[in-house]
Amino acid sequence: MKNKQILLPPQVLHLIEQLEAAGEEAWIVGGCVRDSLMGKIPHDWDMTTSASTGRMKEIFSDKRLLLNGEQHGTVGVIEDGAVYEITTYRIESGCSDHRHPDAIRFTREIREDLSRRDFTINAMAYHPEKGLLDCFGGEEDIKNKTIRCVGDPKLRFEEDALRILRAVRFSAVLGFSIQQESSQAACDKAKLLCEISAERICEELCKALCGRWVSQTFALKEVWGQIFPELDVLGDEIRRLPEDAFLRLIWLYHSQGKRAKDVLLRLKAPKTESKREEALWEILQNTPETVVDFRRCLNAFGEKTTEDFLSLLFVSNHLDEKARQQQLDTFARAKEGCCSLSDLQVDGRQLLEAGCPKGKKVGEILNQLLEECMQEVLQNHTEKLIERAKQLF
């Protein structure tokens, strides 16, 4: 037990006090302890207690509770509009699907609870009076920037194969290295990832890909190869892209001249990402160079997708600053002009009033006017557009 000071929110202190006034133990635990020790503000304040869920319902009978996690020993207590999850100390055993424990047994010993957790940096608890409870050296691993499994790494990954990607994610986001025995176990057990749902893999993968240090995890070839079997290598340049997980994923494939549509389907990514991949691939086949090219690209795919393409282009082609600025200037000039039908200073109603025949002819003429405006051979002024349209009737 160490006398480390962590400033707890008043709501958390109040909940701990209520539990202990009723004769129970209570600690904050897991990620909120880790983040606090690293000087970060936790997103959530999870707690663990000796109290059973039935006992918690009695103790917090004056509060609104969420009980959807009750079978796993978790009660959500609503305090000042926020939800605080409190879980009974528990021990897990068996894991035939390599994801969920076959059995859960509740205990009144917090050290047993901490021993079931994934990594040492997540296996610490804190009490406002008793201080830090660190049974596995988590605080030292934070100082050394190390991801290390609690106990036997192979057993930890066999219990829950998603922990393999969690190790990758923490390394990518925190910049920590994965301890040798744990990284070897992750590679040895990487094939177990095929038994994890695509949705959960995608969730962890997205967090990892957005990590500032994701490229340092590419050394775990067996792990990444399980997710991206079509790729030969993973490029360090990924860190130069915006922190957009799917854009980075698409770049990994497109930079090797490969489509990413199959992996997006495999990961059950949102359909919008498959459409974005298709659009970026199409632009890649006809890379815009001139102002008119960019205007056609903006008309077909929109500003955001065109900006995404430029991000991929700058990384893949290793353009120097001068060439990069030229592309940006061309893109900026393209945006200043007429790029879509909505930019035209004339519409179908005005053409009809000017005598244009009804039907598809209206659309054909509008598209011709747009093309001529994009090429800057026609001014985007209503009178000029109607005058030109009459020549096309």
The pLDDT, as a whole number, for residue 136 is 97
Tokens of 312: 């991929």
The pLDDT, as a whole number, for residue 2 is 58
The pLDDT, as a whole number, for residue 150 is 97
Q: Which of 77, 6, 13, 14 is nearest to 35 (CA)?
A: 6
Query: Which string of b and e fits 198-219 if b means at least 16 CB within 10 Å?
Result: eeebbbbbbbbbbbeebbbbbe
Q: Tell me the CATH class for 145-227.
A: mainly alpha
Q: Which of 259, 308, 272 is nearest to 288 (CA)?
A: 308
Tokens of 280: 């970026």
Amino acid residing at 182: S
Annotated domain spans of the chain = 10-138, 145-227, 240-246+257-336, 341-392
Q: Tens digit of pLDDT per residue, the chain (393 long)?
A: 556 789 999 999 999 999 999 999 999 999 999 999 999 999 999 999 999 999 999 999 999 999 999 988 999 999 888 999 999 999 876 666 666 666 688 899 999 999 999 999 999 999 999 999 999 999 999 999 999 999 999 999 999 999 999 999 999 999 999 999 999 999 999 999 999 999 999 999 999 999 999 999 999 999 999 999 999 889 889 999 999 999 999 999 999 999 999 999 999 999 999 999 999 999 999 899 999 999 999 999 999 999 999 999 988 877 778 888 899 999 999 999 999 999 999 999 998 988 888 888 899 999 999 999 999 999 999 999 999 988 888
| Gap between the Cα atoms of 292 and 376, Å rounded | 9
| Gap between the Cα atoms of 156 and 115, Å rounded | 10
Q: pTM of the entire structure?
A: 0.87
| Gap between the Cα atoms of 99 and 156, Å rounded | 10
| Gap between the Cα atoms of 252 and 262, Å rounded | 13
Q: Identify the helix (H) or strand (E) that includes residue 294.
A: helix 291-301
Runs of H (alpha helix) within 3-81: 10-21, 31-37, 53-59
- Cα dist. 13→28, 36, 46, 64, 206 in Å? 10, 15, 12, 18, 34
Architecture of domain 10-138: 2-Layer Sandwich (3.30)
The pLDDT, as a whole number, for residue 14 is 95
